[in-house]
Homo-oligomer: A and B are copies of this chain.
Amino acid sequence: MKKTDLRSLDALFRPQSVAVIGASRKRFQIGHEIVRNLVFGGFTGPVYPVNPKAKVVHSMLCFPKVSAIPGPVDLAIITVPAPLVLPAAKDCARKGVKGLVVITAGFGEIGGEGTVLQNELVALCKKHGIRMIGPNCMGILNTAVEFAMNSSFAAATPTRGGAAFLSQSGALGEAILTDARSLGIGVSMFASVGNRADVSPCDLLDYWDEDPNTEQILMYLEAFGEPERFMDAARRISPRKPILVVKSGRSAQGARAAVSHTGSLAGSEAAVDSLLNQCGVLRVDTMKDLFALASAVQTGKRPKGKRVAIVTNAGGPAILATDACIANGLEIPELSAATRKKLEKGIPPEASSVNPVDLIASADAARFDLALGATIADPNIDMVLAIFVSPIMIDAAAVAEVFAKHAAATEKPLLACLLGKSHSERASDILREKGVPNYRFPEEAAFSLANMYKLQKLRTRENKAAPQYRVRKSKARAALDTAIAEGRTMLNGLELNDLFTAYGIPLVPSRIVSTREQALRAARSLGFPMVAKVEAEDIVHKSDRGGVIVGIRNREELLDAYDRLEDIFGEECPDMSLLLQAMRSDGVETFFGAATDPQFGRMVAFGLGGVHVEVFKDVVFRLHPLTATDAREMVEGIRAKAMLEGARGKPPVSQDELVDTLLRLSRMLTDFPEIAELDINPFLAGYQGKDSCALDVRVRLEVK
């Protein structure tokens, strides 16, 4: 997206004048509330109510239509019924309006004529260079001092701050603004994007990247519109500004609801998660988690590692916090000897100087001051969780001031958890005023610390490039061309062999034979033990029908096997061939795959083979093309990673080799866009990296 395009969004978010089409005299009508919000929201330019049936709205003269307004109009908010929207928009175009927010529903989301109407609206905007938010939305706002503009009908107005918020659901937008205010999350801009007929989440990512007031970007999405563009933008922006996303429709039924709700298709969850991971975006499960994390991210602190110190005046909440930290992948390390010494000088003997540092109920501000100073300074510690259960005899406000002092003085994240009642309302106010995130439950605070760490890891992924492999592309090209020329979408054995060996992925040694003599000759080069499979494209469930014989140990058994296969399949395949393979079992069966997602394009999968992929679904996905970092994360990301490291007394396999295989596959996909699906199942990863090879492969082409 070019810079000039971005500036076009200024008509929406930084207008000099706004018209409200459908302005109403009645309170609690949308057309009234928007006028009211503009006025009370401190918009400094003129606001023009437009309504042919009213003379005055909110003490302002009303205009019959936009083109009747004397001065220029940058932005028009349209709230009139659906059939009147297009005429109103046309009038805006005549007037030279460059931004439209269409609140009205009844467009793409209801299908049929709604979609027709929406398309006409989009065509009009395109033609006149107008940018449009909506239709079917609850408006937009900007809190910047010089551009203060609340063109929404939300009842809650947020406080100024660094979070730009996008909601695909108008209803959640209302809830978001309410909660942001009460949870102390400051907002820079807000957009309820509705049907996203023109302005999309990708546009806003870019726009907010450039907005000096925006420090983090929060999104509630039901569907990705342009996954490739989103990924590209997020990859660029996430190192600078954290991007947090709630993407709903996780469950199949949730996704079904999303379809009927937004008229858009939800992506497969594996794809969504991998996409977001790969581009540095943290997806959280619930709106609640989003808010909890946003208030922590708002501090601008970034944890350097995952080691947490807990400083508390009560044991119980510290135990709950410890449990939650560990469960979410954080560490509660030992404090350094120096820190413990410092602590022991200032705390009573019943208190604990080991992490969690329990200052006991008598701890006052001075004791917290000492303990927080000591633990924050500890080089073993990356983050601090300060817990205070307000005892009646302690000045809670003074303790809160100490929390705030230390939080302000360190680069390490410090989150607070205030429990209990006495005096602590003032304490909570102090923490909110001074921007110290404060959680009601210790587990919530721990979870936010874990998410901060996760986000930081995602944002600072190095993304090492894949090596430049030497491959024999022309050999592979020839193999594919043969299949294409013969009108096949599935590659045959010879073609598969050429393709994979050209990309440095070894297949198990094999021969195709059609006579007993050829079989015995092949056996000399393959060696025993050996596997024999009937080779015929149209026989399905080969192994169920006895078409695969394993463990052939000598020439006699090979001839036996030949006889048996001929007995079973000879009649239906008069010129039956056999595929003979060296039998390999010294290693771990792994799985590599590639598939094409209708929305995101090609994805690469890695997991353990056999039952692990089928029953446990222990598979990691990434979008193609893979970086070296992606591939490493995939190999290290499977749940049963212990199997690669040498479980059950077995030696380890080479993880480097698996990473290498993934990258070679990805290179193959890059070189051949026509490979739509690919399976290596299993790939036998040899112990200590010896004799690894693909035992079974299939490749499906899609030639456009």
Binding site for B on A (CB under 8 A): 28-30, 33, 105-106, 110, 153-156, 167-172, 174-175, 177-179, 220, 222, 246, 248-254, 257-258, 260-262, 285-288, 313-320, 322-327, 332, 350, 352, 354, 356, 358, 361, 389-393, 419-422, 440-441, 443-444, 541, 544, 551, 610-611, 614-616, 639-640, 642-643, 647-649
Chain B residues whose CB sits within 8 angstroms of the CB of A33 once the complex forms: 392
Q: How far is the CB of A437 from chain B (nearest CB, A)?
A: 16
Indicate if the CB atoms of B251 and A323 lie closer than 8 Å.
Answer: yes
Indicate if the CB atoms of B640 and A178 lie closer than 8 Å.
Answer: no
Other A-B pairs beyond A169-B315, A257-B315, 10, CB < 8 Å = A30-B392, A30-B393, A156-B421, A169-B316, A171-B314, A172-B314, A172-B317, A258-B319, A261-B319, A287-B443
Indicate if the CB atoms of B171 and A419 lie closer than 8 Å.
Answer: yes
For A249, A250, A421, the residue with the greatest tally of chain B CB atoms inside 10 Å of its CB is: A421
Who on chain B is nearest to A447 by CB? B286
Indicate if the CB atoms of A420 and B175 lie closer than 8 Å.
Answer: yes
How far is B650's CA from A541's CA once the two chains are assembled, in angstroms?
12
Indicate if the CB atoms of B251 and A318 lie closer than 8 Å.
Answer: no
Chain B residues whose CB sits within 8 angstroms of the CB of A640 once the complex forms: 611, 615-616
Known interface pairs A169-B314, A361-B171; A286-B389 also in contact (CB < 8 Å): no
The copy count of this chain in the complex is 2
Supply 12 A–B pairs (Cβ within 8 Å), ascending by A: A28-B393, A30-B392, A172-B320, A178-B420, A257-B356, A286-B444, A541-B649, A551-B551, A610-B648, A611-B640, A615-B642, A615-B647
Chain B residues whose CB sits within 8 angstroms of the CB of A354 once the complex forms: 260
Query: Which 6 pairs, one residue from A and one from B, show the smallest C-beta to C-beta distance?
Result: A169-B316, A171-B314, A155-B422, A251-B326, A175-B419, A261-B315
Q: How far is the CB of A343 from chain B (nearest CB, A)?
A: 15
For A179, A314, A320, A615, the residue with the greatest tally of chain B CB atoms inside 10 Å of its CB is: A320
Per a CB cutoff under 8 Å, which of B28, B248, B253, B393 touches A29? B393
How far is B332's CA from A251's CA once the two chains are assembled, in angstroms?
11
Q: How far is the CB of A550 from chain B (nearest CB, A)?
A: 11
Who on chain B is nearest to A649 by CB? B544
Indicate if the CB atoms of B174 and A389 lie closer than 8 Å.
Answer: yes
Q: How far is the CB of A192 from chain B (nearest CB, A)?
A: 10
How far is B220's CA from A419's CA once the two chains are assembled, in angstroms?
15
Indicate if the CB atoms of A153 and B392 lie closer than 8 Å.
Answer: yes
How far is B394's CA from A174's CA once the two chains are assembled, in angstroms?
14
Indicate if the CB atoms of A248 and B319 lie closer than 8 Å.
Answer: yes
Indicate if the CB atoms of A316 and B220 lie closer than 8 Å.
Answer: yes
Per a CB cutoff under 8 Å, which of B172, B179, B322, B420 touches A174? B420
Q: How far is the CB of A18 from chain B (nearest CB, A)?
A: 19
Chain B residues whose CB sits within 8 angstroms of the CB of A393 once the complex forms: 28-30
Per a CB cutoff under 8 Å, which of B170, B249, B326, B616 touches A639? B616
Indicate if the CB atoms of A319 and B257 lie closer than 8 Å.
Answer: yes
Indicate if the CB atoms of A286 and B443 lie closer than 8 Å.
Answer: yes
Chain B residues whose CB sits within 8 angstroms of the CB of A422 once the complex forms: 28, 155-156
Per a CB cutoff under 8 Å, which of B262, B323, B391, B544 touches A315? B262
Known interface pairs A174-B390, A422-B155, A610-B648; A168-B616 also in contact (CB < 8 Å): no
How far is B249's CA from A341's CA once the two chains are assembled, in angstroms?
27
Indicate if the CB atoms of A616 and B616 lie closer than 8 Å.
Answer: yes
Who on chain B is nearest to A647 by CB? B615
Indicate if the CB atoms of B261 and A358 lie closer than 8 Å.
Answer: yes
Chain B residues whose CB sits within 8 angstroms of the CB of A287 once the complex forms: 320, 441, 443
Q: How far is the CB of A217 from chain B (nearest CB, A)?
A: 18
Chain B residues whose CB sits within 8 angstroms of the CB of A168 once the complex forms: 316
Per a CB cutoff under 8 Å, which of B30, B249, B614, B643 touches A611? B643
Per a CB cutoff under 8 Å, which of B30, B105, B178 touches A350? B105
Q: How far is the CB of A553 from chain B (nearest CB, A)?
A: 9
Indicate if the CB atoms of B257 and A322 lie closer than 8 Å.
Answer: yes
For A392, A541, A551, A610, the residue with the greatest tally of chain B CB atoms inside 10 Å of its CB is: A392
For A154, A361, A615, the residue with the greatest tally of chain B CB atoms inside 10 Å of its CB is: A615
Indicate if the CB atoms of A316 and B110 lie closer than 8 Å.
Answer: no
Chain B residues whose CB sits within 8 angstroms of the CB of A616 once the complex forms: 616, 639-640
How far is B361's CA from A105's CA once the two chains are assembled, in angstroms?
10
Who on chain B is nearest to A248 by CB? B319
Indicate if the CB atoms of B172 and A254 lie closer than 8 Å.
Answer: no
Chain B residues whose CB sits within 8 angstroms of the CB of A318 once the complex forms: 257, 261
Q: How far is the CB of A426 from chain B (nearest CB, A)?
A: 13
How far is B643's CA from A333's CA once the two chains are assembled, in angstroms?
40
Indicate if the CB atoms of B614 and A250 lie closer than 8 Å.
Answer: no
How far is B354's CA from A186's CA once the two chains are assembled, in angstroms?
38
How far is B179's CA from A262's CA once the two chains are assembled, in angstroms?
38
For A258, A323, A422, the residue with the greatest tally of chain B CB atoms inside 10 Å of its CB is: A323
Indicate if the CB atoms of A254 and B322 lie closer than 8 Å.
Answer: yes
How far is B323's CA from A220's CA once the two chains are assembled, in angstroms?
14
Q: How far is the CB of A586 from chain B (nearest CB, A)?
A: 15
Indicate if the CB atoms of A155 and B260 lie closer than 8 Å.
Answer: no
Indicate if the CB atoms of A288 and B440 lie closer than 8 Å.
Answer: yes
How far is B316's CA from A325's CA once the two chains are assembled, in angstroms?
31
Chain B residues whose CB sits within 8 angstroms of the CB of A611 once the complex forms: 640, 643, 647-648
For A29, A106, A314, A332, the residue with the greatest tally of chain B CB atoms inside 10 Å of its CB is: A314
Per a CB cutoff under 8 Å, which of B171, B332, B420 touches A316? B171
How far is B392's CA from A324's CA once the two chains are assembled, in angstroms?
39
Known interface pairs A253-B332, A643-B615; A285-B443 also in contact (CB < 8 Å): yes
Who on chain B is nearest to A291 by CB? B441
Known interface pairs A105-B350, A155-B421; A389-B319 also in contact (CB < 8 Å): no
Who on chain B is nearest to A320 by CB? B248
How far is B446's CA from A254's CA once the two chains are assembled, in angstroms?
13
Per a CB cutoff under 8 Å, which of B251, B316, B332, B419 touches A248? B316
Q: How far is the CB of A544 from chain B (nearest CB, A)?
A: 6
Per a CB cutoff under 8 Å, which of B106, B169, B252 touches A326? B252
Indicate if the CB atoms of B544 and A326 lie closer than 8 Å.
Answer: no
Indicate if the CB atoms of A327 and B30 lie closer than 8 Å.
Answer: no
Known interface pairs A106-B350, A167-B316, A171-B314; A327-B155 also in contact (CB < 8 Å): no
Known interface pairs A254-B326, A315-B257, A614-B648; A171-B392 also in contact (CB < 8 Å): no
Chain B residues whose CB sits within 8 angstroms of the CB of A319 once the complex forms: 169, 222, 248-249, 254, 257-258, 261
Known interface pairs A322-B257, A616-B616; A288-B648 also in contact (CB < 8 Å): no
